Chain A
């Protein structure tokens, strides 16, 4: 018999027996606790810190992915990143209530549920089957996060280890959320008859165990695209025994059913005016056009706006600096949960860079000034400039010396915003339009909701001329999944839209490189006009 050890988890107060020599991360997964592990367990990101103790008195903080279980332990994950601010509500477009149930129960009320499977988070919505009214929402982290932060590492995991873990994981998470929705609404889960899922192409392929190879190697094409409608029980999703699940079509390898959801929630194909839609996450998906033509692309924006690759980066959770402003009296920032700052989330990151540009502490090339140069601008500045690895860094508040923005972080922001800005320019070129022709800029997703459009324009993530045309639309992908449930015509339309939207592979465009490099610089700061 191999030696086993007992691990007791706090605050869950659950315990499991595990064999020796597995990592704490693996043990946590076995216990159903999914920590954030952006690096995929390579020990490089330091985000999976947990506290362990043998006796309950002396605690040490360790990286869960790098620590082998060698004795029985108490494991405390209270301070480990698990809970995030996740968007679950928005209402963009009204459609007639004409759902597409194949069958409904003979008696009693019945329901539908929409799901947006994000790489990081999953949002779920329960709708009344007879009225279409939204009853409640639920959300969770995508438990696949324990297998890597981005779609490429997930795809890689599947290619190396097969589908089992990741597919089971996502079906399990859907079941859990269905349970939560049912509980919150005070109904039986068997009363739910129809589900609609959206998610990026990788999430889609993992959900159905579609071959992954074509997705991750040039030319990065999905192996299946079309609208899917299947019996839910075939995928171990527990609702009404005859209940069905729908997955909206995907458009391309890196433009998935989530983008289709966004399109469905806004229907730019019905509009006269040209609109640009952005869904900014690890990949930024962009859709530009109007009733005449729509074109989309995906840009490798990188995870900077989600807090990864940023030295003090974190997601929009408690303790994250989410906004910053700069005026003659100095720098002012706000922290989620009004706590002491622990790190910087995406919206805070954009604000910070915009403020530093305005203050003159970052020049157009992206260089952060050193202490002496900062002193020449304003005697108050040097207290905000520190050094990190022989490079200048911006200190938010000298009272919190652990939270700062490094020169390297500024470079990461430049790469991310350069990719998106280049994507916008190349889509415009493809359609033969300019910034000025774009009447509305819809920003989907959590980041879009929290980011300040003015800051986004100041740093050149969005064209400056569009700063008054930015409309945050919340979780447009999830909204699209709801619309597909509410109206059969809209659902059927997705099968057409899938082929109507042109897809532009940026990596294959010869002008992408020059365009991207041009967009790495920061635009000049325009004079502030009072609104």
Chain B
């Protein structure tokens, strides 16, 4: 199916302007919508791999994610029910006291591109806000918390502790990240996963949700 390949290539190359048209062409040619979605998700996986290897950088990754979004917009009406978000829902936010969100936004975009519906709570998110968001979305699968400053790591710890004590804990996975965060710290505070960059975060989220 060369049309599917064309869509995947356009996503990987970040051609946001043409992706929509290519998706439509592929659909018109009779390609299966789910198959198209999977090809696009895989293309983003390749983009993520190249990012991890430093072959491409933040701007190229963002451009690819934007192209992905354009493609999904065209595809959505052709997908059954909620299957555009094949992996389910994720809640994400930067913890209390921290206003930094570029890294968190990147993670949100990559996770969305990986086939999730992402609910972004923004920056300086209180523990209560995280907890309330999970309660309001009982089908949420993953909660991601970010801290950029070493001084807000304690807030991350408290946030994860609160999530760990909540009665919904067994239904969710908790992911953490941010410049000063390490795997050791994630283990120490009882998070389920830590990833060092946005591409690995998307990969990990897929593993955790499937």
Contact = CB atoms under 8 A, between A and B. Distances in A.
A129 to B, nearest CB: 41
B55 interface: yes
Interface stretch (B20-28, B31-39, B80-88, B145-153): B145-153
Interface stretch (A52-60, A423-431, A515-523): A515-523
B59 A517 contact: yes
Interface stretch (A10-18, A216-224, A440-448): A216-224
A135 interface: no
A391 B56 CA distance: 11
Contacts of B152: 216-217
A219 B105 contact: no
B124 A218 contact: yes
Contacts of A508: 99
A218 B99 contact: yes
A521 B14 CA distance: 15
Nearest to A215: B151
A329 B150 CA distance: 47
A210 to B, nearest CB: 15
B97 A217 contact: yes
B102 A365 contact: no
B151 A155 contact: yes
Nearest to B60: A365
A507 B99 contact: yes
B102 A156 contact: no
A513 to B, nearest CB: 5
A183 B52 CA distance: 55
Interface string A402-425: 000001100100100000000000
Contact of B54 (A218, A408, A507, A518): A408
Given A152-B150, A217-B152, A507 B57 contact: no
Interface string B143-185: 0000001111001000000000000000000000000000000
B62 interface: yes
Contacts of A390: 53
B100 interface: yes
A414 B124 CA distance: 27
Interface string B112-138: 000000000001100000000000000
Contacts of B96: 217-218
Contact of A521 (B53, B59, B105): B59
A382 interface: no
A156 B151 contact: yes
B150 A516 contact: no
A219 B99 contact: yes
A366 B123 CA distance: 29
B151 A217 contact: yes
B192 interface: no
A159 B99 contact: no
A117 to B, nearest CB: 20
Give the interface centre of A155, A216, A217, A220 by most chain B CB atoms within 10 Å: A217
B42 interface: no
Nearest to A219: B99
Interface in A481-531: 505, 507-508, 512-513, 516-518, 520-521
A518 B105 CA distance: 15
Nearest to A519: B59
A216 B149 contact: yes
A152 B151 contact: yes
B53 A366 contact: no
Contacts of A366: 57
B101 interface: yes
B46 interface: no
A216 B97 CA distance: 8
B99 A407 contact: no
B98 interface: yes
Contact of B53 (A155, A391, A516): A391
B58 interface: yes
Interface in A309-336: none
A28 to B, nearest CB: 23
Interface string A152-169: 110110010000000000
B97 A218 contact: yes
Nearest to B101: A513
Contact of A414 (B53, B57, B62, B101): B57
Given A219-B99, A508-B99, A159 B59 contact: no
Contacts of B53: 390-391
Interface string A131-169: 000000000000000000000110110010000000000
Contacts of A156: 150-151
B57 A365 contact: yes
A147 to B, nearest CB: 12
Give the interface centre of B105, B123, B151 by most chain A CB atoms within 10 Å: B151
B63 to A, nearest CB: 10
A513 B99 contact: no
B98 A365 contact: no
Contacts of B150: 152-153, 156
A411 B151 contact: no
Contact of A407 (B54, B59, B97, B149): B54
Contacts of B101: 507, 513
Contact of A367 (B56, B102, B105, B155): B56
B96 to A, nearest CB: 8
A366 B102 CA distance: 19
Nearest to B98: A218
Interface in A205-250: 216-220
Interface in A385-410: 390-391, 407-408
Interface of B: 53-60, 62, 96-102, 105, 123-124, 149-152, 155
Q: Which 6 pairs across A and B sit closest by C-beta, in order of nearness?
A: A217-B97, A216-B151, A507-B99, A407-B54, A218-B99, A156-B150
26 contacts: A153-B150, A155-B151, A156-B150, A217-B96, A217-B98, A217-B149, A218-B97, A218-B123, A220-B99, A365-B56, A365-B59, A367-B55, A367-B57, A391-B53, A407-B55, A414-B57, A507-B101, A507-B123, A508-B99, A513-B101, A513-B102, A513-B105, A516-B102, A517-B58, A520-B57, A520-B58
Given A390-B53, A518-B59, 10 more contacts: A216-B151, A217-B151, A218-B97, A367-B56, A505-B99, A507-B123, A513-B105, A516-B102, A517-B58, A517-B62
